[in-house]
Amino acid sequence: MTTSTLNPDSSNTFTSTIGGYTVSGRAHSLSAWFVLSLRLMMGWAFAYSGFTKLAAAEPFSAGGYLTNVAAANANPLAGLFAWMGSTPWFVEFANVAVPWGELLIGLGLLVGAFVRLAAFFGAFMMLMFYFGNWEMAHGFINGDFAYMLVFLAVAAFGAGRILGADAFIERYAVDGEPLVERHPVLAYVLG
């Protein structure tokens, strides 16, 4: 069995400053396995959810959810959800975007390709589900909010580089230059 020790002087440290406040931390050597586990867990959950919607006997329909859910739970975005549910083109868009989005987000996370992009859209979907499933009986934090934070953590930690395709895509060379150096914008979607 191979073990690793945490070296206080290693590059396993991180620091961030936002609004004048700085936080820093040091990750344990096992952190990569936990980040990988989060990526795979969310990938499986989303891929499975999207697949079951697409393979269901009845076509997926978001209209009833969008029309009824927000009005029933004192949602601060009730008007937006009512508009979405009563706008035919948006309902048709959601009928395609939700199952295919879930499937593609899940597959991206499972193979570790375009993980930051997939995690961004996963976090956005969870934010919309958070407001759609608005419930304050137990406070502001619920499963949808927690999943949104998991997606953001997966993106922040570059989980696609951990046994994922993003590690290979970033190193892929075009005319002797790594793809990410040639196209720096890819750093925002890979990782």
What is the reported pLDDT for 51? 98
Domain definitions of the chain by residue range? 31-188
What is the reported pLDDT for 72? 66
User: To 5 degrees, how large is the angle CA 25–CA 105–CA 72?
Assistant: 95
What is the reported pLDDT for 186? 87
What is the reported pLDDT for 6? 44
Which residue ranges in the chain fall short of pLDDT 70? 1-11, 70-72
Tens digit of each residue's pLDDT (9 = 90 or more) over 122-140: 999 999 999 888 877 777 8
Q: Token digits for 137?
A: 């009986």
Residue 156 neighbours by CB under 8 Å, 6+ apart: none
Terminal alpha carbon distance of the chain: 28
What is the reported pLDDT for 46? 98
